[in-house]
Amino acid sequence: MTAFFALIGRDIRIALRQLSDTFIVIIFFVIAAALFPFGVGAEPNLLARMAPGILWVTALLSAMLSFDRLFQNDYEDGTLDLLVIAPQPLWMTALAKIAAHWITTGVPLLVAAPLIGVMLNLGPDGYGVLMVAMALGTAIISLTGALGAALTLGSRRSGVLLSLLVLPLVIPVLIFGAGAVEASIAGFPAAQQLLLLGGLLLACLVLCPWGCAIALKIAAE
């Protein structure tokens, strides 16, 4: 576990030295959400109905910008070879890097989401559920994106392949996440959608690090 937390700290320090990457994700999140009122109109009730879907779609597209840095730098400078032969299980290494990615990308998106909600006239009853759903959903997106990044590591046009792999896999996250917020705004319980997101998170926690470990071994060879 010491090596696990040390690797998380290492990746967070690297991210802090490259704050521009995090700022790009947040700026894209804000700009993409701000474009919707220009396209569909600035009528408050219309924006309020569309706000949950807009928030989730723009959060996903913003997170896609950061997936390529998960393993690419380690692959290019040879660090990946050392991680593969390290005594620590490779799936645990992958999980540590995913945790660092969520802390440096998912948490800023989580903090920015209520501000975007205010801009889109999101109903006041939806903010609590939005924060819980975004916390679960961004973790799932980080896990799924890491699996896609590992599978496309070292390939040509990896960005296009990564998008094709990840986007279909996270459609349930968008459906249940937006549905939870919409149910809360309408006065219905959102527990079912949140439980489904929690179940997806548990499944991804089991499958994605293991899949990343296999893909990273293949890439290192």
Residue 203 structure tokens = 């499944």
Contacts of 83 (CB under 8 A, 6+ apart): 74, 90, 93, 216
- In the DSSP assignment, the letter for residue 104 is I
Stretch 10-21: mean pLDDT, rounded?
Answer: 81
Is residue 195 scored above 90 in pLDDT? Answer: yes
- Average pLDDT of the chain is 85
Element (H, E) at 102: none
Instruction: Answer yes or no: are the C-beta atoms of 206 and 92 closer than 8 Å.
Output: no
pLDDT digits (tens, 9 = 90+) for 91-144: 888 898 899 989 988 898 898 888 888 888 887 888 889 999 999 999 999 999
Q: For residue 133, what are the contacts with CB-CB under 8 A and spacing of at least 6?
A: 176, 177, 180, 181, 190, 193, 194, 197
Share of the chain above pLDDT 70, in %: 97
User: What pLDDT does residue 81 have?
Assistant: 78
| 197 vs 171: CA distance, rounded Å | 12
CA distance 111 to 90: 31
Section 33-55 average pLDDT:
81
Phi, psi of 182 (to 5 degrees): -65, -40
Average pLDDT over residues 59-73: 82
Quick: pLDDT tens for 19-41: 777 888 889 998 988 888 887 77
Helix 171-185 / helix 127-151 crossing angle, nearest 10 deg: 180
Q: How much is the pLDDT for 216?
A: 84
pLDDT digits (tens, 9 = 90+) for 158-180: 667 777 888 888 899 999 998 99
